[in-house]
Amino acid sequence: MSLSVQHPPSLAIFCKVVDNYGDIGICWRLARQLHCEHGVAVTLWVDDLISFRRICPEIDVTLESQQAAGVIVRHWLGQDGVFKPEEIADIVIEFFACDIPPGYIAAMAQCAPHPVWLNLEGLTAEEWVEGCHTLPSSRHGMQKHFFFPGFTGKTGGLLREAALEQRRAAFQRDPAAMAVFLAQFGVMPAEMAAIKVSLFCYPHAPVVQLLAAWEQGSEPVTCLAPEGVAFDAVRAFIGDDAAAGASRTRGNLTLRVLPFVPQDDYDQLLWACDVNFVRGEDSFVRAQWAGKPFIWHIYPQDENLHHVKLRAFLQRYAVDAAGAIDSVGAASEDWNGGISANEGWAGLWPALQADMARIAARAGAWQVQMLENGDLASNLLAFARSASRTE
């Protein structure tokens, strides 16, 4: 039987955690949205419950099977196991070619009709994605389709919940709510007037230089960094204690260490800040929906292939009617270990500050552009229904 709108399907997502929080962050947002907005019965298989719990505190790391937000969460313990055809979901998603268990694939092959099998790929702005999006390949006598998120109407779009923009706008219209939210992390009323920056990056980012630029800069900065992020640089600035709740002010910089928070609270953190440094894929996408200036730290790849990915995005994003926004390009290159400006962050940060109004306007225009592509969950379901009719 083909999938129908009247009868929501079952769906399984297989996720192996490589990027600590990015992989599970994407899969968890997708799973929740598919269940809550589309009524899909979702099972999320994940191999690292400890990382999962940091963004979803209700997860019990001792359980092999549990339910969270209506989603069945299964601890993916290995590649062994025998499955029956009746245990197989109507739609099966392997995130980023993670090689789902052979026993599950064998049971898929026994189903009639076969489930819709999708390889949900990583996000990139490179043009070749448009030609590969939804392409089929033959696997074990079944069809598997590649499904690419992306930035154009010829891709699957970006993850975005239906009420996200409404929630963001309401939060940002309410300064009191914003102050209450930040106060839980120790942010004082006087700090609300400073430039507020969230910092989420990989360990090799030039954080020491950035902190120095803020400390010696002309305007107050409040930096909010989750515990464990840029640990060495944060500990060097604060002192011996770099645990959640620690803080220190030196020069024009106040640095506060935050606990890891659930995804919805992280969204609010991005909304509350004036500038966001984000990493990987999940926080990168959420920064775009926040509509604020941001700098992206990409997951590093061999032979510096991530620089190609960065430049492909900058060619789309860091340009407005007046041309390229050079400060965003220069800062992004340096942050990712590319060609550095001679003056380093002592010059890069003031250049970004000088361009903030232009960057913020571009961020808003980019949101409007991305909304035209629909959202990833809805696009994925629509494609799955179409593919099931041809299986």
- DSSP string covering 236-268: HHH-S--STT-EEEETTEEEEEEPP--HHHHHH
**Distant-in-sequence contacts of 172-175, Cβ < 8 A, 24+ apart:** 172/271
Two tokens at 211?
Answer: 């902190």
What percent of the chain stands above pLDDT 90?
87
Q: Are 142 and 183 in a shared domain?
A: no
Q: What is the mean pLDDT of residues 348-370?
A: 97
- Tell whether the torsion through CA atoms of 94, 141, 116 and 127 is positive or negative: positive
279-292: pLDDT as tens digits: 999 999 999 999 99
Q: Which of 23, 161, 267, 375 is catalytic?
A: 23
Q: Are 264 and 338 in a shared domain?
A: yes
Q: What pLDDT, on a 0 to 100 scale, did the predictor assign at position 20?
A: 66
Which residues neighbour 149 within 8 Å (Cβ) at sequence distance 6 or greater? 120, 121, 122, 123, 155, 156, 157, 158, 159, 376
DSSP state of 41: E
Q: Are 336 and 318 in a shared domain?
A: yes
List the domain range (segments joined by +) for residue 53: 10-158+373-390
Give 47 or 4, the one with higher predicted confidence.
Answer: 47
Banded pLDDT at 341 (limits 50, 70, 90): low
Banded pLDDT at 129 (limits 50, 70, 90): very high
149-195: pLDDT as tens digits: 999 999 999 999 999 999 999 999 999 999 999 999 999 999 999 99
Q: What is the mean pLDDT of residues 319-342?
A: 88
Q: Which of 281, 282, 334, 375 is catalytic?
A: 281
Q: Identify the helix (H) or strand (E) that includes residue 175.
A: helix 175-183
With a cut of 90, say whether residue 132 has pLDDT above it: yes
Supply the mean pLDDT for the chain. Answer: 94
Site of tokens 């389709």: 145
Q: Is 4 within the bounds of a domain?
A: no
Q: Are 321 and 198 in a shared domain?
A: yes
Q: Are 46 and 189 in a shared domain?
A: no
Q: Are 96 and 178 in a shared domain?
A: no
Q: Is 2 within the bounds of a domain?
A: no
Give the strand pairing for 221-226 and 142-147: unpaired
Using CA atoms, how far apart are residues 112 and 97, in angstroms rounded to an integer? 24
Q: Is 249 within the bounds of a domain?
A: yes
Banded pLDDT at 339 (limits 50, 70, 90): low
Q: Are 92 and 187 in a shared domain?
A: no
Q: What pLDDT, on a 0 to 100 scale, did the predictor assign at position 168?
A: 97
The torsion angles phi and psi of 98, rounded to 5 degrees, stand at: -90, 5
Q: What pLDDT, on a 0 to 100 scale, did the predictor assign at position 5?
A: 54
Amino acid letter, residue 291: G
Q: What is the mean pLDDT of residues 357-377?
A: 97
With a cut of 50, say whether residue 369 has pLDDT above it: yes
What percent of the chain stands above pLDDT 70?
96
Banded pLDDT at 319 (limits 50, 70, 90): very high
Q: What pLDDT, on a 0 to 100 scale, did the predictor assign at position 300?
A: 83
Q: Are 319 and 364 in a shared domain?
A: yes
Q: Are 150 and 180 in a shared domain?
A: no
Q: What pLDDT, on a 0 to 100 scale, did the predictor assign at position 126?
A: 97
Two tokens at 100?
Answer: 């789902």
CATH number of the CATH domain containing 327: 3.40.50.2000
Task: Order the strands of the 10-15 sheet from edge to edge.
Answer: 65-68, 71-75, 41-46, 10-15, 91-95, 116-120, 142-147, 136-139
Q: Are 144 and 21 in a shared domain?
A: yes
29-85: pLDDT as tens digits: 999 999 999 999 999 999 999 999 999 999 999 999 999 999 999 999 988 889 999
Give the strand pairing for 195-199 and 221-226: parallel
253-272: pLDDT as tens digits: 999 999 999 999 999 999 99
Annotation says 23 is catalytic: yes
The reported pTM is 0.94
Q: Is 292 within the bounds of a domain?
A: yes
Q: Is 280 within the bounds of a domain?
A: yes
With a cut of 70, say whether residue 367 has pLDDT above it: yes
Amino acid letter, residue 71: V
With a cut of 90, say whether residue 19 has pLDDT above it: no
Q: What is the mean pLDDT of residues 132-136?
A: 97
Q: What pLDDT, on a 0 to 100 scale, did the predictor assign at position 240?
A: 78
Q: Is 298 within the bounds of a domain?
A: yes
Q: Is 139 within the bounds of a domain?
A: yes
Banded pLDDT at 304 (limits 50, 70, 90): confident
Q: What is the mean pLDDT of residues 216-231?
A: 96
Q: Is 5 within the bounds of a domain?
A: no
What is the tally of structural domains in the chain? 2
Annotation says 99 is catalytic: no
Q: What pLDDT, on a 0 to 100 scale, did the predictor assign at position 1?
A: 43
Q: Are 133 and 245 in a shared domain?
A: no
Using CA atoms, how far apart are residues 241 and 218, in angstroms rounded to an integer? 27
Q: Are 213 and 269 in a shared domain?
A: yes
With a cut of 50, say whether residue 113 has pLDDT above it: yes
> Checking phi first, is residue 389 left (phi over 0); if not, alpha (psi -120 to 50) or beta?
alpha
DSSP state of 8: P
